A and B are shown apart, each in its own frame.
Chain A
Amino acid sequence: NAGVMQNPRHLVRRRGQEARLRCSPMKGHSHVYWYRQLPEEGLKFMVYLQKENIIDESGMPKERFSAEFPKEGPSILRIQQVVRGDSAAYFCASSYSGAEYQETQYFGPGTRLLVL
């Protein structure tokens, strides 16, 4: 009964490169959420996706960040032209159903992104 899987666990990028973070939800879950944890801060919501749809991206920075959850395969959080301020832990969570039932979100182990 695998939980939420994220890879890589650690990612180092130089300024200007692209970062791709992957998330496989728990088995049977079709709702994915991404959160960002900046150093010494709490977690902040970024985006909520269902298969092939972005439901709520109100927490996503307007530029350089994008997310997808294709019909097949993991959800991807993509950061283009990374800057030092993007260094953070990025957590993915998944739930069984959506807003109507307000299911518990179960989190993955996170990806620690370090931008040099």
Chain B
Amino acid sequence: AQKVTQAQTEISVVEKEDVTLDCVYETRDTTYYLFWYKQPPSGELVFLIRRNSFDEQNEISGRYSWNFQKSTSSFNFTITASQVVDSAVYFCALSGLIQGAQKLVFGQGTRLTINP
């Protein structure tokens, strides 16, 4: 079965600090996809990134960066120089190509609060 664990339920930091959100996954699929979504206080779900299991290159997009490590089944998300607008619930998700195709399995989410 597929499973995503976001062990950090809530994180609170002061603006401009760096913060890392952890995501650990379990799957028996050899081909799979990992995602991060952001849910701001307004409630919608915003797509941030998608990685496939064959691409372990880390990715940077502005202040956001993602570290994918197959050896530890982790796909962590770092926000550098955090801002108040980054306050949201962040979800990590997994989708397999063979098992449960097109069915996203979400972690419980990490509520990130950036204090001014």
- A interface vs B, CB < 8 Å? 31, 33, 35, 41-45, 48, 55-56, 58-59, 89, 91, 93, 95, 98-99, 102, 104-110, 112
CA distance A98 to B89 in the complex (A): 27
- Secondary structure class of chain A's binding surface, majority of residues: strand
A58 neighbours in B (Cβ, 8 Å)? 103
CA distance A57 to B95 in the complex (A): 16
A106 interface neighbour in B43, B47, B93, B108, Cβ under 8 Å = B47
A56 interface neighbour in B102, B106, B107, Cβ under 8 Å = B102
Q: Does B104 make an interface contact (CB < 8 A)? A: yes
Interchain CB contact under 8 A, B103 and A45: yes
Q: Does B68 make an interface contact (CB < 8 A)? A: no
CA distance A56 to B95 in the complex (A): 14
A45 interface neighbour in B33, B35, B104, Cβ under 8 Å = B104
Say how far A9's CB is from chain B's closest CB, in angstroms.
Answer: 9
A59 neighbours in B (Cβ, 8 Å)? 103
Interchain CB contact under 8 A, A43 and B104: yes
**Which 4 A-B pairs have CB atoms at the shortest separation, nearest pair first?**
A99-B101, A107-B45, A42-B106, A109-B44
Q: Given contacts A41-B108, A42-B91, A99-B97, is CB(A110)–CB(B45) below 8 Å? A: yes
